[in-house]
Structure 1
Amino acid sequence: MESECMALSLVSADPVPRPTGRVICDPCGVLSTYRSILTVPGAAIFSLSGFIARLPVSMVSLGIVLLISSASDSYGQAGTVAAAYLLANAALAIVHGRLVDRYGQFRVLPAAQLLYSVALVALVWAVQTDQPQAVTLVAAAVAGGSLPQIGSCVRARWNHVLDDQGKLQTAFALESVIDECLFVLGPTVVTTLATVWHPVAGLAVAGACGLLGTLALAAQRRTEPPAHPRTADAVRPPMPWRTVAPMALVCASLGVIFGAAELTTVAFAEDQGAKAWSGPLLGVWALGSLAAGLVAGAITWRSGPERRVRWGVLMLGATMLPLTVVDSMWLMAFFLLIGGLAIAPTLIAALALTAAAVPNARLTEGMAVLHTAMGIGVAPGATIAGIVVDHYGSSAAYLVPAVAGLIGAIAAWLGRAPVPSPA
């Protein structure tokens, strides 16, 4: 998941709002709240382009697992290649953010996307022609390292076109819901294509969507945030690490949960003789998150986002514990749906704290830091879970995301509320 990557945030001038009343949700006003931002000129089209461009985030890592496990019959090898893809993406996400902030989306996104497309084709070729694993790993690393940071770019556009903090909060909540839509749609599509049609088909569709969506987004110059080229006398605003670092640790823990749960669920479905249903199972998990994210964007919280991060990541890890003893597809779907309810609110709160503190000139980079941390977590999560699956079975592997949730909660409790970022 880039949950997407799943990320994903609320931003306001007061980063830690503390209304004194109860949590308030006005169902009748939800649609009008979201409609108010989508009618801003150019907003609906760049949000839609971003949705299409981000489909690889929810499809490619799972597509790699399905492709390689089908070719080699080893989830450990599949997890290793997926980890190379995700680690490279994490390692270069901050670089992507800096380049976009400095040179603009129009110049950076197409170049990165074209390199990504070529590398993804090379990855498929290496697996299909039985090349040495080193070749596959290099292709996966190049693909992951060149994947454009679309989620950060879309949120930067919202920050540029909206000057009302209330609407900005709604816009970022909308993007969180869109991210969850990706993880409802993406795993189901890639699994169906890979298991019913051909193992390569899912990756091919993901690559085509990424290419078309990214080029469409980059072409929309009217809503593009201005570049901030560095000059000799320019003073680079500092990154508020007191806020960003703890949230990065939280996102790394979330990444472990996502990577481990994704691979383990595929293995669980295969153990049940229904591998084709692994995508829908993961889609149910994301569906719970989507519903929670939609509600989270339309209510007034009594608690501040720092508290929601602490309890959210702990609850997400705790919901993995029952999965260690589940032996039914229907029960698995039920518990994944319940667990998914904690995903979007936790991600929204984590990025709210970060985005409220990061200067505008480094906003894309700041968002990329959290995406980087999440990618760093996804890679070992997938790898460790793959090893556990190979040696102890799929049920035991659900302990990996459970432990990660506990670690993330500890990191969240060590964090501090942010100081508002400069205008």
Structure 2
Amino acid sequence: MAGYRELVRTPGVIRIIAAQLTARFPNGMTSLAILLHIEHVTGSYGAAGLVLAATSIGQAVSGPVTSRWMGMWGMRKVLTLTMTICAICLTVIALGEMVLPAYVALGLITGLSTPPIQSAARTIYPKLVTSRQLTPLYSLDASLQEIIWIVAPVAITLVATQLGTVPALLLIVVILVGGGSWFILSPEVGRVRIPRSKRRFGKVLARPTVLLATVIGFLLIGACAAVEASVVASYGHGGFEAGIVLAVFSIGSLAGGLSLGHAPMAPWAMARRLTVVATGLVLTVIAFALFSGDPILSPVGTSATLFIAGIGIAPALAVLFAMTSASVKFSDTAEAYGWIGTGQLIGGAAGSAIAGFLIDGTGAVGAYAAAGAFALLGAIVAAVFVRAFPDLRHRDPSPLPDTEPNAIIT
């Protein structure tokens, strides 16, 4: 904890972490609020699914694009523009009455205009702290983001069910504009300028480390999404158990991230941490199969094993952020994080879809097994391609400097 105390005393760290978490809080609310609102307006979950799919596609496409724009036009301009458009679209969805294609179009624009707060924050971090503090800062960031996934879905569900879906969407707009403005106006955002990248768009994916981080992010978030679908299918029928089980899963991730924040990141670190996730999920399959008929032992056993799985999630994400930062030039970091975010979004959609099909076919135990398979495959990929991981035990994960050859007159 002494290392974290030193970290949070660094000027600007608390402000940037708090501002970016607040600005990203709508990420844990928007999908659920749109789903509930469109179903309420149209009376069809199919229509709501179409709008939500359009929003997700927009988010996946926009991540690397808007992140790269920050190097061309500056962080504040891009973040202000995207935040404004996103807020307007959500307001129109909340207050307007229109045909389904119009809702789909607005959902797509909402996704496309999602502010790249995450890419901006992780691009700022290397300029905010010393090289020695950067690894624990990535771990702290990966851990604290679990607060979004613990609190946000519960909060927006309560607002939507008690006050209505329109107030729920308008609440998201308020948090988006308030948190986004806080982050945009932070002095650190104004002081950091991302150099314009000289590479073609998408070229950063040719770096093995970035491609590997994108693939592993896809598999890890796919596992998490499959777990969420499995838990809801198991305990979400009118009870509170699903929320508690998922909260324990996130608390495990929070505890793992904070406790392993200063652990050295050797090339095998990712494989080890994903092995913890896979082991916990395999134990979850066994526990659920053994206790599925017991109303007390089933949620308790599932919570205990998911806590074990969660211990590896935030530490694995911390490795993912650090390996990316250490492997690309500073001008490419924002785009690299954008691609990784896109991989995670696609992974989440794939994990949810596969889990849904398995729940319909074999029950929740099959979906838990799919989550374990995602995590196990991630551990195998990390082990097979271990040589692509940088050894960060004796070096800091700061981005490579942007240098240009100087003309020498002889």
Same fold (TM over 0.5): yes
Which residue matches 1:315? Answer: 279
User: Any unmatched runs of 5+ in structure 1?
Assistant: 1-29
Distance apart, 1:168 and its partner CA: 1.4
Structure-to-structure mapping, 1:170-209, within 5 angstroms: 170-209=136-175
Give the counterpart of 1:288 among 252, 263, 273: 252
Give the counterpart of 2:185 among 201, 219, 236: 219
Letter of the structure 1 residue corresponding to residue 176 of structure 2: G
Distance apart, 1:111 and its partner CA: 0.8
Indicate yes or no: 2:215 matched with 1:249.
yes
Which residue matches 1:345? Answer: 315
Provide the rounded CA distance (Å) in 2 between the counterparts of 1:284 and 1:314. 17
Distance apart, 1:390 and its partner CA: 5.0
Provide the rounded CA distance (Å) in 2 between the counterparts of 1:52 and 1:106. 17
User: Any unmatched runs of 5+ in structure 2?
Assistant: 392-396, 402-410
Are the aligned partners of 1:293 and 1:344 in contact in 2 as well (CA < 8 Å)?
yes
Indicate yes or no: 2:126 matched with 1:154.
no
Which residue matches 1:417? Answer: 389
Q: Percent identity over the alignment?
A: 25
Distance apart, 1:115 and its partner CA: 1.3
State the TM-score, normalized to the length of structure 1: 0.79
Which residue matches 1:361? Answer: 331
Which residue matches 1:266? Answer: 232
Provide the rounded CA distance (Å) in 2 between the counterparts of 1:131 and 1:390. 31
Deviation track 1:263-291 (CA, whole Å, cap 9, x = no partner) reads 343333333x22x6544432222111111
Give the counterpart of 1:45 among 2, 7, 15: 15
Which of 388-397 and 91-100 deviates more? 388-397
Computing the radius of gyration from Cα coordinates, the structure with the larger value is: 2
Provide the rounded CA distance (Å) in 1 between the counterparts of 2:309 and 2:248. 10
Provide closer, same or farther for how the CA distance between residues 72 and 198 of structure 1 changes in structure 2, counting only shifts above 3 A.
Answer: same
Distance apart, 1:95 and its partner CA: 0.6
- Greater RCO (CA < 8 Å, at least 6 residues apart): 1
Provide the rounded CA distance (Å) in 2 between the counterparts of 1:349 and 1:384. 27
Are the aligned partners of 2:249 and 2:309 in contact in 1 as well (CA < 8 Å)?
yes
Deviation track 1:212-242 (CA, whole Å, cap 9, x = no partner) reads 1111111124444113246xxx677963621
Are the aligned partners of 2:276 and 2:309 in contact in 1 as well (CA < 8 Å)?
no
Deviation track 1:327-386 (CA, whole Å, cap 9, x = no partner) reads 544444333333322211121122222221111111111111211100111122223334
Are the aligned partners of 1:69 and 1:75 in contact in 2 as well (CA < 8 Å)?
yes
Structure-to-structure mapping, 1:122-133, within 5 angstroms: 122-124=92-94, 131-132=99-100
Give the counterpart of 1:104 among 67, 74, 93: 74
Letter of the structure 1 residue corresponding to residue 370 of structure 2: V
Are the aligned partners of 1:248 and 1:370 in contact in 2 as well (CA < 8 Å)?
yes
Which residue matches 1:5? Answer: none
Provide closer, same or farther for how the CA distance between residues 267 and 200 of structure 1 changes in structure 2, counting only shifts above 3 A.
Answer: farther
Indicate yes or no: 2:132 matched with 1:166.
yes
Provide the rounded CA distance (Å) in 2 between the counterparts of 1:63 and 1:287. 24
Provide the rounded CA distance (Å) in 2 between the counterparts of 1:399 and 1:130. 41
Structure-to-structure mapping, 1:73-88, within 5 angstroms: 81-88=51-58
Deviation track 1:180-219 (CA, whole Å, cap 9, x = no partner) reads 1222222222233334443454443333212211111111
Provide the rounded CA distance (Å) in 1 between the counterparts of 2:179 and 2:236. 33
Provide closer, same or farther for how the CA distance between residues 76 and 330 of structure 1 changes in structure 2, counting only shifts above 3 A.
Answer: farther
Distance apart, 1:304 and its partner CA: 4.1
Provide closer, same or farther for how the CA distance between residues 313 and 215 of structure 1 changes in structure 2, counting only shifts above 3 A.
Answer: same
SS of the aligned residue for 2:326 comes to helix
State the TM-score, normalized to the length of structure 2: 0.81
- RMSD of Structure 2 on Structure 1 (CA): 3.1
Provide the rounded CA distance (Å) in 2 between the counterparts of 1:343 and 1:249. 15
Give the counterpart of 1:119 among 89, 100, 108: 89
What is the aligned residue count?
A: 384
Provide the rounded CA distance (Å) in 1 between the counterparts of 2:369 and 2:179. 37
Are the aligned partners of 1:38 and 1:44 in contact in 2 as well (CA < 8 Å)?
yes
Provide the rounded CA distance (Å) in 1 between the counterparts of 2:99 and 2:305. 40
